[in-house]
């Protein structure tokens, strides 16, 4: 299985290099090459599931010397915490490559866009596979420039400002991440994340609090956590459809995953001390995002702000430091990736056909494109937490995890539940103003119907939302053993 692990990481990098030098006269072949390669990589991520076992140890790993003078090893692996995100990453990039067969944003040149997407995929895989804190930081950094370029080159009218804001915020987070990783490595005597997750830290409580606060801010920028979220709406609004899908479904997860994989075991006493503050900020994100969404009139911006609220539930689950809460966080990561990724695909289809995301001009889509309206309704009710769909379990378990804690966390759980009601309000408002009611000025008959490529790109996400909503244990059974082992160290 170690060969499959290395192949998952290396193939996207090789594909990116190949597309960078691909002949300009063979652009359609380049698109199909990206689809085939992404399909092969996704298949390999499924092959990794064959190494699964029920214990907390990595299912399979690669551990090689890299920088002996600094005692840094190229330590990569997969376990129940990382595999779902690795598989989701493989699926999302495959669907984005498939979508790009027919839908390439201006100014065209799909070879460069696909090359950047594959480079981005390599960085994300590396971050999710890293079992060494320094290796995690390196791959975390690899994702920044490709995403910046995707927004800056293929985005909307305000793309350059949005890309600069994305880069400045994420570079600020990266500097703090480097400081936190170095401090934790010195305090721990090793950068090995497996060792961190097994043994309690010997650092002083004050030192652990300082390390955890630095790492929390670094990962909060990426998650993003209120009030460090302001880069996200602009980035989503200006990014091309595939950029928004990747950003929502994959890149935001690097922040919450990093907090679980790196932040909690790096400084467990610090995590316990700061957890109430994290809980308050998470609930604030849920409520503030919900109130803002009730007032927004632009479709992509509304979905972007909804992500701040959804990730608030993930961060609330982490703040509980208990098994139900961390399970909720990991499940919520996947559910948000599936449903919000689908939403951004659908919003892209709406803007491609009607040339606007203005809610005031989009009424009555169901009369012209009933299939598109139906899919938009499905993704919206899934995102608001309808039981039976994937979005329900992450939010429900986060609230349950909060109620299992102190009286303070019980109060946070109540406020978070009220925030979920806000999500229902703004998503139902979105549907009322776009799919039903009087036909908006932008919605006219004769616009292109959904094509086979779009439906093929969206169908797996629809199926996943249903399967995970009806059988959540398919995912929860993978994460329970490593989560319980982590809780035993973080919250003994």
Cis status of the peptide bond prior to 224, with omega within 30 of 0: yes
- Measured CA to CA, the distance from residue 57 to residue 79 in angstroms comes to 7
Which pLDDT tens digits describe the chain residue by residue (492 residues)? 678 888 889 999 999 999 888 887 778 888 899 999 999 999 999 998 887 777 787 888 888 877 776 677 888 999 889 999 999 999 999 999 999 888 777 666 788 889 999 999 999 999 999 998 889 999 988 888 888 888 888 877 778 888 888 888 888 888 899 998 888 888 777 788 888 877 766 777 788 898 899 999 999 888 788 887 777 777 878 888 888 899 888 988 888 999 999 989 888 888 889 999 999 999 999 998 888 888 888 888 888 888 888 888 999 999 998 888 899 999 999 999 999 999 999 988 888 888 777 788 887 887 888 888 889 889 988 888 888 888 888 888 888 888 887 888 889 888 888 888 888 888 888 888 888 777 766 666 667 777 888 899 999 999 999 999 999 988 888 888 888 888 888 876
Which of 116, 357, 113, 364 minimizes the C-alpha distance to 233?
A: 357
* Integer-rounded Cα radius of gyration of the chain: 21
- Measured CA to CA, the distance from residue 211 to residue 138 in angstroms comes to 19
Cis status of the peptide bond prior to 227, with omega within 30 of 0: yes
Cα separation of the two ends of the chain: 33
Strands 60-67 and 72-78: what pairing? antiparallel
Q: What are phi and psi of 298, to 5 degrees?
A: -115, 130
Q: Which domain holds residue 131?
A: 2-490
Sign, Cα dihedral of 299, 224, 166, 191:
negative
Count up the domains in the chain and report the number: 1
pTM: 0.91
Residue 388 burial (CB count, 10 A): 12
- Measured CA to CA, the distance from residue 309 to residue 307 in angstroms comes to 5
Identify the residue whose tokens are 């990736």.
Answer: 337
């Amino acid at each position: 299985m170690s060969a499959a692990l290395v192949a998952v990481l290396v193939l996207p990098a090789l594909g990116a290099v190949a597309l960078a030098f691909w002949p300009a006269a063979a652009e359609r072949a380049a698109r199909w090459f990206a689809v085939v390669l992404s399909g092969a990589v996704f298949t390999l991520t499924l092959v990794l599931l064959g190494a699964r076992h029920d214990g907390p140890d990595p299912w399979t790993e690669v551990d090689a010397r890299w920088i002996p003078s600094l005692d840094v090893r190229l330590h990569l692996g997969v376990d129940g915490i990382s595999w779902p995100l690795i598989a989701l990453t493989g699926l999302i990039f495959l669907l984005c490559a498939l979508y790009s067969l027919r839908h390439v944003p201006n100014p065209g040149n799909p070879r460069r866009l696909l090359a950047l997407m594959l480079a981005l995929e390599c960085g994300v895989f590396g971050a999710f596979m890293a079992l060494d804190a320094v290796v995690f930081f390196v791959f975390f950094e690899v994702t920044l420039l490709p995403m910046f370029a995707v927004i800056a080159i293929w985005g909307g009218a305000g793309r350059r400002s949005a890309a600069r804001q994305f880069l400045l915020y994420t570079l600020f987070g990266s500097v703090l991440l480097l400081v936190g990783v170095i401090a934790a490595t010195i305090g721990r005597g090793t950068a090995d994340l497996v060792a961190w997750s097994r043994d309690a830290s010997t650092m002083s409580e004050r030192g652990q609090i300082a390390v955890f606060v630095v790492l929390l801010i670094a990962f909060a920028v990426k998650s993003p956590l209120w009030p460090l979220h302001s880069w996200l709406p602009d980035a989503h609004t200006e990014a091309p459809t595939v950029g928004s899908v990747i950003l929502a479904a994959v890149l935001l997860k690097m922040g919450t995953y990093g907090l679980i994989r790196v932040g909690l075991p790096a400084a467990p006493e610090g995590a316990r001390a700061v957890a109430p503050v994290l809980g308050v900020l998470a609930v604030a994100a849920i409520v503030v995002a919900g109130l803002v969404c009730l007032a927004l009139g632009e479709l992509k911006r509304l979905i972007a702000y909804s992500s701040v609220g959804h990730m608030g539930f993930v961060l609330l689950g982490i703040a509980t430091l208990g098994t139900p809460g961390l399970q909720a966080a990991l499940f919520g990561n996947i559910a948000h990736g599936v449903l919000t990724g689908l939403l951004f695909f659908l919003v892209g289809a709406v803007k491609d056909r009607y040339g606007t995301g203005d809610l005031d001009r989009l009424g009555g889509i169901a009369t012209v494109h009933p299939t598109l309206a139906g899919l938009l309704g499905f993704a919206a009710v899934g995102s608001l937490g309808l039981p039976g769909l994937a979005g329900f379990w992450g939010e429900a378990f986060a609230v349950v995890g909060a109620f299992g804690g102190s009286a303070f966390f019980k109060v946070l759980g109540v406020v978070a539940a009220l925030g979920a009601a806000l999500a229902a309000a703004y998503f139902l408002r979105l549907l009322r103003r776009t799919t039903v009611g009087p036909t908006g000025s932008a919605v006219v008959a004769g616009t292109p119907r959904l094509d086979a490529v779009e439906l093929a790109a969206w169908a797996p996400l629809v199926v996943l939302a249903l399967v995970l909503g009806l059988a959540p244990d398919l995912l929860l059974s993978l994460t329970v053993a490593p989560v319980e082992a982590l809780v035993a160290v973080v919250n003994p």
